[in-house]
Chains A and B, each alone.
Chain A
Amino acid sequence: MIAQDFGFFVRESFIGMNRSRLMTFIAMATIAVSLIVFGFFLLLTVNLNNFTSLLTEKLEVRLFLKHSLTRSEIKEFQDRIRRLNGIKSITFVDRDDAWAEFQKNYKSMGIVGTVGKNPLPHSISLHVQKEAAIEPMVSYLKKFDYYVDDVVYGSEIAKRVESFSQFAKGAGLVLVLLLGSSTLLIIVNTIRLTVLARQEEISIMRLVGATNLFIQLPFLIEGFIIGVIGAVVAITTLSIGYNWLGDTIVASVPFMPLVFQLKQLMFIYCIVGVVGTFIGMLGAFISVSRMLRYQL
């Protein structure tokens, strides 16, 4: 019964939107812009998360060993570390290799000549499994002061990336909430205008025995359509924009670990679509339930 009325409702809602064209357009544009910002922050968050986890993976802890150690002592120490929890990998770096590497890297700077003899100690390079485990691991390793001269790790960079991504997420959340509520307000007002423009029709509908649901449905559908169109525009813009921006970034910074997995991107675009549709319908619902309470 309701199904065969569906065409009727959709037609009614298009008539309504056509009557307040400008407002409907503004509502669609606002919802699209807000969703683009929302989607942008989702993409940013995914990329930052990806980046931090890659960084953690790459984070190296370097143990510089005491000069006095014998080969067998080093071997024994290596075995002890390997058995610790939370260690992903460890590699022994011979001082001669390190020195050769250093000389190769800094040949142009002219330091090599002034130093002459190899000043570097043997060292162990190790990677932890989780970034959070790095600090306690380092302070634990420092306690082996019979073996370990110094421990060096890239904690500062990791901390900065982490705190930047926290900040970006917080700012994004605030911005998205602000935009979301103002979008909602605009949609509520748009639907209110179409309701006002149709007051006469609505009162006649009541006179011939229309139920409230019947009167409200075209407006709810209108909100739904505004939301869907806004979302489609936003998703199109986001996917084109992200691909373009991604290509540009990768072209200049080739090792930038951007997320291009279709599955992850699809998931984000789906969230954007669902949120857009939901805001459209919520706006219509608020407007309609405030304006179309039962009147005689």
Chain B
Amino acid sequence: MIELKQVHKNYDNGHVALEDISLVIGRNEFVYLIGPSGAGKSTLLKLIFRSELPTSGEIIIDRFLLSRIANRQVPYLRRSIGMIFQDYKLLPRRTVYENVAFALSVMHFPRKKIRRQVCHVLELVGLEQKMDRMPHQLSGGEQQKICIARAIVNNPPILLCDEPTGNLDPDTSWEIVQLLTKINARQTTVVMATHDTEIVDGIPKRVVAMEKGRIMRDQQLGGYIE
């Protein structure tokens, strides 16, 4: 599903963010990506999402060979990857409903189908009562749930989450991760970058630990600390 082969990433300023990363993530896996700040977790997710390009190495997503695809194919790659951003990236002047529906409009879904799927996914994240609100009228956890709803509304095979519980209290964090495991159970590969020890220890899954741009540990059902 996701495969990285000897991937290096140097940023333009010369900073080495990733060094010799090789990693295979299979279909329907749930993977925690952990490590201290600056370890390169976000960079890794961005490379998979192709919002950054690797300096060397090859990345294969589903049927896409990322070094080979043309710029105009990138939208189609992104339609098979849902991405949840730490800073939400919601449209501030649109309602909850519109924010989620937007992702489907972009993919030319017919209006009826958009309505059906948006309502379904808002129900899944428990926001069907608030679909006419603006994002700023919602709490951080609720905004994060809209992001999740938007990321999965078209049932992509891959879901990338960059610290989805970063700014949330423990209860809400649990709720979010429960939601992600539920999504994982619906045939979706989930990769989640996180600092949250309680969650990693509480819901054991495969753990990929990074440090200074390298993978230090890759363990099935591992905990936050070895």
Residues of A at the B interface (CB closer than 8 Å) are 1-2, 4-5, 8, 200-201, 203-212, 214, 294, 296
Q: How far is the CA of A8 from the CA of B111 in the complex (A)?
A: 10
Which of B48-56, B116-124, B164-172, B202-210 lies on the face that meets chain A? B48-56
Residues of chain B with a CB closer than 8 A to A294's CB? 71-72, 74
Across chains A and B, which 9 residue pairs bring their CB atoms closest together, nearest first?
A209-B78, A209-B79, A210-B106, A208-B103, A294-B71, A209-B75, A211-B75, A1-B108, A296-B51
Interface positions, chain B 57-79, Cβ under 8 Å from A, are 71-72, 74-79
Interface positions, chain B 154-192, Cβ under 8 Å from A, are none
Residues of chain A with a CB closer than 8 A to B110's CB? 1, 4
A194 to chain B, nearest CB (A): 14
Given A209-B78, A209-B79, A296-B52: A5 touches B72 (CB 8 Å cut-off) = no
Q: How far is the CA of A1 from the CA of B75 in the complex (A)?
A: 17
Check if B91 is an interface residue, CB within 8 A of chain A.
yes
B164 to chain A, nearest CB (A): 15
Contact A210 B75 (CB under 8 A): yes
Contact A209 B107 (CB under 8 A): yes
Contact A8 B105 (CB under 8 A): yes
Q: How far is the CA of A2 from the CA of B110 in the complex (A)?
A: 10
Residues of chain B with a CB closer than 8 A to A203's CB? 89
Q: How far is the CA of A169 from the CA of B145 in the complex (A)?
A: 66
| 8 intermolecular pairs with C-beta atoms under 8 Å apart | A1-B108, A4-B111, A201-B91, A205-B102, A205-B106, A207-B83, A208-B103, A296-B53
Q: How far is the CA of A58 from the CA of B74 in the complex (A)?
A: 71
Given A208-B150, A294-B71: A2 touches B103 (CB 8 Å cut-off) = no
Given A209-B75, A294-B72: A5 touches B50 (CB 8 Å cut-off) = no
Contact A214 B106 (CB under 8 A): yes
Residues of chain B with a CB closer than 8 A to A212's CB? 72, 75
Residues of chain A with a CB closer than 8 A to B83's CB? 207
Contact A5 B105 (CB under 8 A): yes
Q: How far is the CA of A294 from the CA of B75 in the complex (A)?
A: 11
Contact B53 A211 (CB under 8 A): no
Contact B106 A208 (CB under 8 A): yes
Residues of chain A with a CB closer than 8 A to B90's CB? 204
Contact A209 B91 (CB under 8 A): no
B68 to chain A, nearest CB (A): 16
Interface residues of A, dominant DSSP: helix
Residues of chain A with a CB closer than 8 A to B75's CB? 206, 209-212
Residues of B at the A interface (CB closer than 8 Å) are 50-53, 71-72, 74-79, 83, 85, 89-91, 102-103, 105-108, 110-111, 150
Residues of chain A with a CB closer than 8 A to B107's CB? 209
Q: How far is the CA of A137 from the CA of B90 in the complex (A)?
A: 82
Residues of chain B with a CB closer than 8 A to A8's CB? 105
Residues of chain B with a CB closer than 8 A to A208's CB? 78, 102-103, 106, 150
- Contacts A207-B83, A294-B71 supplied; 10 other A-B pairs, CB < 8 Å: A1-B108, A1-B110, A2-B108, A200-B91, A204-B91, A207-B89, A209-B78, A209-B79, A209-B103, A211-B106
Identify the interface centre among B50, B106, B107: most chain A CB within 10 Å of its CB. Answer: B106
Q: How far is the CA of A203 from the CA of B72 in the complex (A)?
A: 15
Q: How far is the CA of A207 from the CA of B71 in the complex (A)?
A: 13
Contact B105 A207 (CB under 8 A): no
Given A204-B91, A214-B106: A209 touches B72 (CB 8 Å cut-off) = no
Residues of chain A with a CB closer than 8 A to B91's CB? 200-201, 204
B81 to chain A, nearest CB (A): 9
A198 to chain B, nearest CB (A): 10
Give the residue name and chain of the A residue nearest to B102 (CB): A208
Given A4-B110, A5-B108, A212-B72: A207 touches B51 (CB 8 Å cut-off) = yes
Q: How far is the CA of A13 from the CA of B53 in the complex (A)?
A: 32
Q: How far is the CA of A207 from the CA of B107 in the complex (A)?
A: 12
Give the residue name and chain of the B residue nearest to A293 (CB): B71
B129 to chain A, nearest CB (A): 24
Q: How far is the CA of A182 from the CA of B42 in the complex (A)?
A: 46
Give the residue name and chain of the B residue nearest to A214 (CB): B106
Give the residue name and chain of the B residue nearest to A201 (CB): B91
Residues of chain A with a CB closer than 8 A to B78's CB? 206-209
